Amino acid sequence: MARGGQGLARVAVVVRAGAAPMWWCGVVAAGAGVLTPGLTGRRIGVLAGAALFIVAAALTGLRGRRRFTALGRGAARAGKHDVLQDRAVTVRTWRRGHRWWLLLAFLGALAASLAAPSAGGLLLAGCGAGLYGKAAWIGRREREDDVLLWVRVDWLDRRGGRPAGKAVKAYRATGVAAGDAAPGGARRRTAALAA
């Protein structure tokens, strides 16, 4: 490894970064969609949305697990010169890189309400729920293996996402006390006490 090390971002934090915006955009769009009868009527729209929510959450949560598992199994120990990126920086980078996509998804979910009330919003919320589920799954694996998984920042895409994309060759691993995020990417509750 080159002297000076690499910038590393937490894998679970990158996965989790899109969960809250997708969830809340979806919930707001679904709520606004209930106000319009649409072409299908509210009841059919909400039932279709509920089905889409379940499918989206399942697909988003399960997609890529085999790749995450393979990369995690082959994780090398992070070097002493590697720089661990703060959770807030990772989240901010992802959200800035995806802000226009999120806006278009929100507007699309609102527009879908003209046809099927709440369906588009619940689909978007399901994607957010799936990301929460995937981050929680990564967190369980981190606890079982007693490591935290990190990815090189320069291997993420230009929007700060895709922690298991083709550009990612391997993960790095640290002990569970490293960084400012708990296993699964949530904010570490004891960080304030330790400061």
The 10s digit of each residue's pLDDT in 53-95 is 999 999 999 999 999 999 999 899 998 889 999 999 999 999 9
State the Rg of the chain over Cα: 19
Q: Which residues contact 48 (CB under 8 A, 6 or more apart)?
A: 40, 116, 119
Catalogue the E-assigned strands of the chain: 7-10, 76-77, 83-84, 148-152, 172-174
Confidence of residue 194 (pLDDT cuts 50, 70, 90): very low
The 10s digit of each residue's pLDDT in 24-60 is 999 999 999 888 887 888 899 999 999 999 999 999 9
pLDDT greater than 90 at residue 151: yes
Nearest to 185 by CA among 153, 176, 193, 127: 176
Do strands 76-77 and 172-174 pair parallel, antiparallel, or not at all (unpaired)? parallel
